[in-house]
């Protein structure tokens, strides 16, 4: 029995995607982003909190001028289910009008969060608006979402690690893990 289980009586995360596999995917996605955005001074817009680690690794692979900003969105609902009612908790500091905007997400699950946010951004008239997601869980989709750059398609399991949480825990795990007994 692990210390984690003894101390917190929580299920044990088991690795689904290793940090090495994540690094390969981040390099591949970065190459695609670079091909499309080099010379454009894009605005990479991360949705907090989950995207912070992906953003940090992605931009270190992008050796050309770009800008970074974050918004914090939250959905009302239970701890594991989006309700579809999205609230902007911390808004944009950057102007979006006329910019090449690339939204960065850690996971597209029901799609409700990012679908809301893309519609919100579209009204601000960016020159272009695309979505880059590390993971996609298409089996759970409730709102249509076009993902332009994707790391992994993932199964319908409850995922934690590499920015993803369960009750704010496990974001610091370097691998993407399944939380056994959850989801």
109 part of the active site: yes
Q: Sign (positive/negative) of CA torsion 147, 153, 158, 162?
A: negative
Using CB under 6 A as the criterion, what x/- string covers residues 47-86 for binding ligand PRP? Answer: xxxx-----------------------xx------x----
Among 44, 100, 110, 178, binds ligand PRP (CB under 6 A): 110
Rule CB under 6 A: is residue 111 a binding residue for ligand PRP?
yes
Q: Do 121 and 47 touch, CB atoms closer than 8 A?
A: no
Q: Is 11 exposed, middle or buried (0-12, 13-18, 19+ CB in 10 A)?
A: middle
Place of tokens 């699950």: 109
Q: Which range touches ligand PRP (CB under 6 A), out of 10-18, 26-34, 94-102, 110-118?
A: 110-118
Rule CB under 6 A: is residue 154 a binding residue for ligand PRP?
no
Pairwise CA distance, residues 41 & 165, whole Å: 31
Residue placing its CB nearer to ligand PRP in the complex, 52 or 128: 52
| Radius of gyration from C-alpha coordinates of the chain | 16
Residue of 36, 57, 63, 109 marked active site: 109
Residue placing its CB nearer to ligand PRP in the complex, 11 or 38: 11
Rule CB under 6 A: is residue 135 a binding residue for ligand PRP?
no
Q: Which residues of 53-89 are buried (b: 16+ CB within 10 A; e: fewer)?
A: bbbebbbeebeeebebebbebebeeeeeebebebeee
Question: Tokens at residue 37, please?
Answer: 């955005």
Rule CB under 6 A: is residue 151 a binding residue for ligand PRP?
no
Rule CB under 6 A: is residue 128 a binding residue for ligand PRP?
no
Alpha helices in 15-143 (DSSP H): 19-37, 52-59, 112-122
Q: Which range touches ligand PRP (CB under 6 A), out of 45-53, 57-65, 123-131, 151-159?
A: 45-53
Q: Note the residues at the interface with ligand PRP (CB under 6 A).
A: 47-50, 74-75, 82, 105-113, 165
Q: Which residues are catalytic?
A: 109
């Amino acid at each position: 029995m692990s210390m984690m289980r003894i101390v917190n009586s929580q299920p044990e995360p088991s690795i689904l995607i290793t940090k090495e596999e994540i690094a390969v995917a981040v390099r591949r996605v970065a190459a695609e982003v670079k091909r499309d955005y080099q010379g454009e001074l894009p605005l990479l817009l991360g949705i907090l909190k989950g995207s912070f680690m992906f953003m940090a690794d992605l931009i270190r692979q992008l050796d050309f001028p770009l800008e970074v900003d974050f918004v914090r969105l939250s959905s009302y609902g239970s701890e594991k289910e989006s309700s579809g009612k999205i609230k902007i908790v911390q808004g944009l500091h950057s102007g979006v009008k006329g910019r090449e905007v690339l939204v960065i997400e850690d996971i597209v699950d029901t799609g409700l969060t990012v679908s809301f946010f893309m519609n919100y951004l579209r009204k601000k008239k960016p020159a272009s608006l695309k979505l880059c997601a590390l993971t996609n869980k298409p089996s759970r989709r409730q709102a249509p979402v076009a993902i332009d750059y994707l790391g992994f398609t993932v199964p319908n399991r409850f995922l934690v690690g590499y920015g993803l949480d369960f009750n704010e825990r496990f974001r610091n795990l370097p691998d993407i893990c399944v939380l056994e007994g959850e989801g």
